Every structure is written in C-alpha cells, then in structure tokens.
Amino acid sequence: MTHHKQVPPQERSGAPLLEVDRLTVTFRKHSLLGGTRVVRAVNQVSLAIAPGETLGLVGESGSGKSTTGRAILRLVPIDSGTVQIQGRDIASIRGRELRATRSQMQMVFQDPYSSLDPSSTIGASIGEPLRVHRSMGRGEIRARVEELLTLVGLRPSHADRYPYEFSGGQRQRVVIARALALDPQLIVCDEAVSALDVSTQNQVINLLEDIREKLSLSYLFIAHDLAVVRHISHRVAVMYLGHIVESGPTNRLYSSPAHPYTEALLSAIPVPDPRKRNQARRVVLQGGIPDPSNPPSGCPFHTRCPYVMDICKQSMPEMTAVDGGGEVACHLQTSGPTLAGRGLNELAPASPHAMPDEREPRNETPAPLG
C-alpha cells in the first residue's frame, strides 16, 4: 500500500468544503411489548472536511458513524444541527438547488453487488446519473462512461458487460465510477472496502487516493478497521455511542491516542512484528456498546473505561484541545492525573479490564496512576 503525504489541517487554506455543526439524528425504536424508545444515534456531532482532504470516521458497529454519513447526504432525516457544503445548509434548500447540491456529494457502500442492477450493463448503471441529471445525448454519455471506466482502472469495453462478470474489487471500481459521474466534490465511503480481501482492499484504497489527488476530491471514509483508515486519512474522528470522542491528525491520533476508547481500538489492531508486540499494551474492553436508547450518565464510555473516575459517571466531558492537534472529550484531560509529557498509554489503568498483552512478556511496568 502506498503512503500518501499527510498534510496537516493547519496547512490547508480556505473555507471547509463540508461543515457539520451539532448534528443530531434520533430514531424511534418500537419494542415488541408495545413501548417506544427514542435512540439518539448521532448526538451533537461536529466535523469539517477541507477541499482535497480525507477524514476517517471510526467506531464499533452501533457507534453512529454510518448514520452520520447518511444524514450528511440527507438519506435520513436530521433532528437538529446543520450540514453545510460550500457554505450552503442542505437542510434549508429544496427542489433544483437541493438536487444540484446533492450531486456534489455521493456515497459508496460496502456491498457493490447490491448497489448495481444485475440486469443492466455496467455502462447503463454508470450512465444512469448522467441520463437523470444531465441532458446528454447517447454518444456523450457513452464517451463519459468510457472515460470513467478508464479512470477507475477498467477497460472502456467493460461498459457492455454485466455485474456478475466482474470480481468484487472490479464491481467496487464500477460503483466508484458511477459515484464520480456527476463530478462530485465529496464522496462518503461507508465501509467501502470492508467486504474485499486484503490485497484487493489495498488496490481500491490506492485507487481512491489517486482519484482524490487527480480530481481534488474530499472523502468521509467510514470504517471499523483502523488499519485501513490510517492509510487513507489525513485526520481521523472516533465515534462512540453517537458522540465524537476524539479527533485529530492521523499520525498524532495513532501514535498518542488521547481517549481511552481510541487506545482500546488501536490496541486491537494486530501487530505483526513480535518485537513491537512486546511493547504494546493490550486494552481489553469488557462488554459491548450499551443500549443506545438508555445511554450511561456522564461520559458515555464510563461503563467500559479502564480509567474511569467518579466524575466520569456524573458529568459529560467537554471537548478539549490535545497536544499535537485535535480534540478529546475525556475528564483525564482536565480532572485526571496530568498527561503532560506522557501519553495515555503510560498511565496504569484503574480496572483490570485493561491489561498488558499476555501473549508476550512485558519489559516495563506502567507508571502508577496519579
């Protein structure tokens, strides 16, 4: 996998392409016994993406990351907050302006088979948005389809074939070609490479990178696999139970995670080198994500956090700036033992749920808490 140059956000100039401010999405969950509960799937989420930037959005299943992506494209209703693309709030526009704005944002899903009509040639599938949204003749559409196929590494003659004639990786290339048809500025990739084997994943990620550079696109790259997200993202935001709990430049977030949840997700990435595995502390989280219709009080992560303190059960931590860039919502930043000069992984956990990786002997004892 090639590594692209990571441009720190402070070196990027101009207004953000996408700006999401305190986005909240709720669902009603009907129980079999007749009651209805409100689930706040996305809770006061704010994020921004610069032109040409990739923001990775990670979290376990049920964290709200996919709903965030869908709400940005207005595929699910927004309860409150704003989503602005190039300064236009998509919640307040209608009709032709909405259609034009929507065509600037496209989505690529995990399963290319279900996003392609099996009875249509891929040329017809890729050309469909052009037929619907642009008044182009047949010849023009064919030329554009062939151009798009070449852009995603397929042959122009592939336009006449059907989805079943392609491998999973090739079908995902077709879906990417269709997403590019209307010249979008933002693509929301929702687990776009998760169903592919590792070498095909790498090829599709490299393709997405090349296309981003060529067309100055921006991506919101949603995935549960942190190893994949690292390779493609300039910045990463981590979601837990509907909240963004940490965000920051990829290098800082992966080398010095500031939120215990980020630390736990990172420690679950397999370390292939046994010498490096020696130094890695493995944080094992107990239990799954709590019931989102009955979230914990205070910090939403406190029921699973190895560093939990009394204050965590009572009050929700505010977002605070992190050394090295980004923000974190954790009381350790303000009320806990000082983190000055130390990473989170130098603090001993308060509970036995976080423990050294027992597969390998450890050379050092973590510093005592406080």
Binding site for ligand SF4 (CB under 6 A): 259-260, 299, 301-302, 305, 307-309, 312, 317, 330-332
Task: Report in angstroms how near the CB of residue 316 gets to ligand SF4 at its nearest.
Answer: 8
- Looking at beta carbons only, is 9 or 326 nearer to ligand SF4? 326
- Looking at beta carbons only, is 254 or 301 nearer to ligand SF4? 301
CA-to-CA distance for 56 and 179, rounded, in angstroms? Answer: 19
Task: Report in angstroms how near the CB of residue 38 gets to ligand SF4 at its nearest.
Answer: 23
CA-to-CA distance for 193 and 201, rounded, in angstroms? Answer: 5
CB-based contact 23:42 (threshold 8 Å): yes
Place of tokens 């042959």: 155
Question: How far does CA 217 lie from the centroid of its chain?
Answer: 16
CA-to-CA distance for 308 and 341, rounded, in angstroms? Answer: 21
- Looking at beta carbons only, is 129 or 260 nearer to ligand SF4? 260
Q: Is the dihedral of CA 286, 287, 293, 294 positive or negative?
A: negative
Task: Report in angstroms how near the CB of residue 258 gets to ligand SF4 at its nearest.
Answer: 9
Task: Report in angstroms how near the CB of residue 312 gets to ligand SF4 at its nearest.
Answer: 3
Residue 182: how many CB atoms within 10 A of its CB? 17
Task: Report in angstroms how near the CB of residue 298 gets to ligand SF4 at its nearest.
Answer: 7
What's the burial of 240, exposed, middle or buried (CB within 10 Å: 0-12/13-18/19+)? buried
- Looking at beta carbons only, is 270 or 287 nearer to ligand SF4? 287
- Looking at beta carbons only, is 229 or 330 nearer to ligand SF4? 330
Task: Report in angstroms how near the CB of residue 284 gets to ligand SF4 at its nearest.
Answer: 15
- Looking at beta carbons only, is 226 or 347 nearer to ligand SF4? 347
- Looking at beta carbons only, is 35 or 352 nearer to ligand SF4? 352
Task: Report in angstroms how near the CB of residue 323 gets to ligand SF4 at its nearest.
Answer: 16
Task: Report in angstroms how near the CB of residue 90 gets to ligand SF4 at its nearest.
Answer: 32
At residue 93, the 3 state secondary structure works out as coil
What's the burial of 69, exposed, middle or buried (CB within 10 Å: 0-12/13-18/19+)? buried
Which amino acid, 121?
T
- Looking at beta carbons only, is 232 or 238 nearer to ligand SF4? 238
Phi, psi angle pair for 347, to nearest 5°: -90, 140
- Looking at beta carbons only, is 56 or 349 nearer to ligand SF4? 349
Phi, psi angle pair for 223, to nearest 5°: -160, 155
Token pair in block for residue 311: 């204050």
Task: Report in angstroms how near the CB of residue 266 gets to ligand SF4 at its nearest.
Answer: 14
Task: Report in angstroms how near the CB of residue 317 gets to ligand SF4 at its nearest.
Answer: 5
- Looking at beta carbons only, is 109 or 307 nearer to ligand SF4? 307
- Outline where 8-137 has alpha helix (H): 65-72, 95-102, 112-115, 122-133
SS3 content of the chain, % helix, strand, coil (to 5): 35, 20, 45
At residue 18, the 3 state secondary structure works out as strand
CA-to-CA distance for 215 and 302, rounded, in angstroms? Answer: 43
Sheet containing 80-85: which strands, arranged edge to edge?
Answer: 36-49, 18-30, 80-85, 88-89
